[in-house]
Each structure stands twice: as C-alpha cells, then as structure tokens.
C-alpha cells in the first residue's frame, strides 16, 4: 500500500527538511520519496488535510494504563488507540499494574497485548520486586525481554544503598534507572504544594524540599556510580538547578516535566477539584515559569503527559482521600501550544527517544514511516467529548486549547482522526 501525504509542513528539529513544505510517499511502511510534489495514482491512499503539519512520531516517557489488574481504568489495546489518536506513536508504559511488572513474564505479557497496534508500547520494568523498595527486580531478564528502563512508579527509593547497587548493576547491560524523587517523611500528609494557596485553603502542604533532598541524594549516588539515571516529572526550581549542575559535571542524567506543571498552577485548587490533585503537586506561577525556562534551555530533556487514569471511585472523593494523577494524552498538544513555541514542543515530545531507545527521530528517505500529523492553529475548548480514555479524570477540562492532532503513521498503519 502506498500513502501519499500532500503539502505538509515538516517540523523536524533533527533533520534536513525542517520548516519545509513537502509531499511524502510511503510504500509498505517505508518513506520512499520526499519532494515538492508527488503524483497520485488511483491505488494510492491520499492524505490531504488543510494546514497539515507533520513531525517524527511523538513519544511519551510516562504512561499508565491499568492492564493487567486494573482494566476498568484502561486496557492496553484501548490505551494505545488513545495514544495514537493523540499523536503518540510510542509510549513508555509504567509498571504500576497488578501484578507489578517486575519479571520477564510481565514484560512479555504487556508486549503481547500491544501486538498489532499502530502505537508502539515500550515497557518500563519495576526497579524492585513488587515495587516495594526491598529487593532488586529481575532487571537483566526484563531487559532481554524488551524493557527500556527500570523504576518504581511514583515511589522514591528510601534505601540509598539499594539505589547505588542498582545504578552499578544496570551498567552491565547499559540500562537506565528511573529515580522518582519525593521524601515520604517530609511530604507527610501533605496533599498540595506548600505555599500561599495551601494556607488559604487550609490544605496540608508539601514543601519543595521533599523533592529536592531526594534529587540531591540521588545525584550524589549517580556521581559515585557513573550509572545512568532519569528523574521523572521534576517540579521545583532547586531540582532544575541541581540537575543543570550535574549535567555540567558530565553525569548521565536526564529528566522530564509533566504537561500539567508547565500549563497549570496551584491557583486551580480554589474549588477543591480533585482533578487537579497530582504528584508532584501543582506549583505556583514563579515555579511554572522556571520549568518553562528549563525546557527552553534544554535542562529538561523531554515532556511527558504522566498519563494516569483513575476511575471515579478513586478520584471523586474528599481532597485528602482522592488519588493523585490526571490523564493527559488527549490534551497534551493543545495545552502545550499555549505556553511553548511549536518547534520546542516537537523537540521535547521527541526527547525520550534518545533516553530510552536507539531511535534517531529524523524524517528522511528509506526510513520506517513513524510520523505524527497535526494542525497547529485550531482553537477549541477541551471538554468531555474530547476525552478518548476510559477514565475521565482530566485536569484540562474547560481549558482553552490550540492545535489538534490529525493522526499518525506507524507500524505500517495509518490512523486518521475524524
């Protein structure tokens, strides 16, 4: 099957066609030709969308679904359909399932569930058995089965020596450790960011120190071991400074920021709406601006949705009792365009490739077609009708959006949104 994409503006920060309007011919899943114009035959599938833009397929470094164990929140098959329609050709799946993905069988299971989908699933294996932080999981076996990294989702490693050993051990097979940062004792019973808003609302606050002290410790361990570390969803100014200094030393450390930390602040909490209860918590405007600046200066390597579906029984509760997390695949692109330039958004939605894969995200001839199609200028309000996920716990409901995803091409499949 041939697919002809007509007159698309290519956004490719890493390639030769950046900002050029071209037509693209794809034959049997391979980019066959890139030119100013390409003839279309009767048997070709034509993609001709007004103001069409394309980029290399986006990748999300932190996605939770539920299956196995929590299929009522999201299944792998349906979750990957949501990812595809949201523009993500690759997603890194967190191991927070039941059972936890902490062995080779778990990796094989989720990969088998993802077989045949347009979007590609890249499994993250648990760092410790059952993500309990006591014993190392079977990382070497999981790596051989297809795991791209190892971490205990939203769980900070209390045992510094175990993290040190993990960083040393994973060097034997060139793997990266994901080290979430939140000291549970300093966090205590906090539910929101410690500051003016928490005081005004009478909600227990979480100081920035809860994140920063763990980031600092983990970077010391990284320097000692010379391993590879990824720090997910950083959210404080001091964390930015610590990571920037570590990179200047030459440490192999990468980090991500969540879309909601770039777009929203804790001012959203005035109505005690639990859709805005996330971990780390939403911060103030000064911190939000600092995070944006860290994206712009490349201290932050990639942007994630940190997609975490919850059913209504776990989310629509008193604020203290509700679970942390928001879905974010469907809203990511439209929300980011309100705060960042288009070329920066694309660059950071491709950043996880160099962290978790060997893929070079560049659009060129004779390469597998892995593309995201989008129209950047469409303005709309995000509503429940825009949510494709089984769970509806979106922090972006009623937010103004700019830009819509038209579809993807990946795994020799074309997905076009209606």
Name the strand (E) or helix (H) holding 145. helix 139-145
CB 125 within 8 A of CB 142: yes
Structural contact between residues 183 and 236, judged by C-beta atoms closer than 8 angstroms: no
Distance, CA of 313 to CA of 311 (rounded, Å): 6
User: Cα dihedral sign for 127, 133, 136, 141?
Assistant: negative
Rounded distance between C-alpha atoms, residue 78 and residue 261, angstroms: 26
Cα–Cα distance between 73 and 67 in angstroms, integer?
A: 8
For 18, what's the count of Cα atoms within 13 Å in the CB-facing half-sphere? Answer: 12
Residue 289 phi, psi (nearest 5): -65, -35
**Per-residue pLDDT at 9:** 98
Question: Does domain 57-357 correspond to CATH entry 3.40.190.10?
Answer: no
Instruction: Measure CA 178 to chain center.
Output: 13
| Block residue for tokens 């995803």 | 405
pLDDT tens sequence across 221-248: 999 999 999 999 999 999 999 999 999 9
Rounded Cα gap, residues 413 and 396, in angstroms = 29
The beta strand positions in 44-117, using DSSP E, are 45-47, 53-56, 58-63, 88-93
What does DSSP say about strands 205-206 and 192-193: parallel, antiparallel, or unpaired? parallel
Return d(Cα 350, Cα 353) in angstroms, integer: 6
Tokens encoding 18: 């950046």
Helix (H, G, I), strand (E, B) or coil at 102: coil
CB 172 within 8 A of CB 142: no
Closest CA to 279 of 330, 336, 322, 227: 322
Domain with CATH 3.20.20.140 in the chain: 57-357
Q: Which of 410, 416, 415, 417 lies closest to 26, judged by CA?
A: 410
Asked if residues 415 and 408 have their Cβ atoms less than 8 Å apart, the reply is yes
E strands, 194-341, in order: 205-206, 228-231, 252-258, 302-304
CATH dotted code for 2-53+367-380+402-416? 2.30.40.10
Q: Are 128 and 136 in contact (CB under 8 A)?
A: yes
pLDDT by residue, tens only, the chain of 418 residues: 799 999 999 999 989 999 999 999 999 999 999 999 999 998 999 999 999 999 999 999 999 999 999 999 999 999 999 999 999 999 999 999 999 999 999 999 999 999 999 999 999 999 999 999 999 999 999 999 999 999 999 999 999 999 999 999 999 999 999 999 999 999 999 999 999 999 999 999 999 999 999 999 999 999 999 999 999 999 999 999 999 999 999 999 999 999 999 999 999 999 999 999 999 999 999 999 999 999 999 999 999 999 999 999 999 999 999 999 999 999 999 999 999 999 999 999 999 999 999 999 999 999 999 999 999 999 999 999 999 999 999 999 999 999 999 999 999 999 999 7
User: Nearest Cα to 259, choosing from 121, 405, 395?
Assistant: 395
Give the separation between CA 357 and CA 323, rounded to whole angstroms.
Answer: 31
Cα gap 257→288, rounded to integer Å: 10
Q: How far apart are the first and last CA of the chain?
A: 21
Nearest to 347 by CA among 13, 97, 26, 1: 13
Nearest to 376 by CA among 324, 312, 333, 325: 333
The token pair at 271 is 């109505």
pLDDT the model gives residue 123: 98
Of 122, 119, 61, 64, the residue nearest 95 (C-alpha): 64
**Which residue numbers are catalytic?**
306
pLDDT score of 418: 78
Bridge partners (DSSP) listed for residue 20:
10
List the structure tokens of 23: 């037509």
Phi, psi (5° rounding) for residue 78?
A: -70, -35
* Residue range(s) in the chain whose domain bears CATH number 2.30.40.10: 2-53+367-380+402-416
Per-residue confidence (pLDDT) for residue 1, from 0 to 100: 75
Of the candidates 9, 43, 42, the one whose C-alpha atom is nearest the C-alpha of residue 24 is: 9
């Amino acid at each position: 099957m041939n697919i002809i994409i007509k007159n698309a503006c290519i956004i490719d920060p890493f390639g030769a066609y950046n900002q050029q309007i071209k037509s693209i011919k794809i034959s049997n899943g391979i980019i066959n030709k890139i030119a100013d114009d390409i003839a279309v035959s009767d048997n070709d599938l034509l993609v001709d969308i007004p103001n069409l833009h394309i980029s290399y397929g986006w990748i999300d470094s932190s996605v939770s679904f539920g299956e196995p164990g929590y299929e009522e929140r999201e299944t792998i098959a349906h979750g990957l359909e949501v990812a595809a329609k949201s523009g993500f050709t690759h997603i890194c799946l967190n191991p927070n399932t039941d059972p936890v993905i902490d062995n080779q069988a778990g990796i094989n299971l989720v990969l088998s569930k993802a077989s045949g989908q347009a979007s590609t699933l890249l499994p993250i294996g648990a760092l410790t058995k059952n993500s309990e932080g006591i014993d190392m999981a079977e990382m070497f076996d999981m790596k051989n089965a297809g795991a791209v990294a190892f971490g205990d989702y939203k769980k900070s490693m209390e045992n510094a020596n175990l993290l040190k050993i993990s960083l040393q051990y994973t060097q034997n097979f060139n793997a990266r450790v994901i080290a979430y940062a939140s000291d549970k004792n300093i966090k205590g019973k906090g539910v929101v960011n410690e500051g003016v808003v928490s005081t005004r609302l009478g909600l227990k606050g979480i100081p920035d120190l809860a994140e920063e002290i763990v980031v600092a410790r983990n970077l010391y361990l990284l320097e000692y071991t010379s391993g590879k570390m990824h720090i997910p969803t950083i959210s404080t100014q001091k964390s930015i400074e610590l990571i920037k200094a570590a990179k200047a030393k030459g440490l192999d450390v990468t980090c991500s920021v969540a879309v909601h930390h770039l777009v929203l602040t804790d001012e959203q909490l005035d109505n005690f709406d639990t859709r805005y209860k996330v971990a780390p918590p939403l911060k103030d405007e000064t911190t939000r601006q600092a995070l944006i600046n860290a994206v712009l200066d490349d201290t932050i390597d990639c942007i994630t949705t940190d997609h975490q579906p919850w059913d209504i029984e776990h989310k629509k509760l008193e604020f203290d009792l509700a679970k942390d997390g928001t879905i974010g695949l469907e809203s990511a692109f439209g929300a980011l365009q309100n705060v960042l330039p288009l070329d920066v958004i694309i660059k950071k939605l491709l950043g996880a490739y160099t962290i978790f894969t060997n893929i070079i995200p560049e659009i060129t001839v004779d390469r597998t077609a892995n593309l995201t199609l989008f129209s950047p200028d469409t303005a709309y309000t995000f509503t429940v009708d825009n949510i494709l996920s089984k769970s509806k716990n979106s922090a972006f409901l009623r937010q103004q959006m700019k830009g819509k995803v038209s579809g993807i091409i990946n795994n020799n499949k074309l997905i076009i949104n209606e």
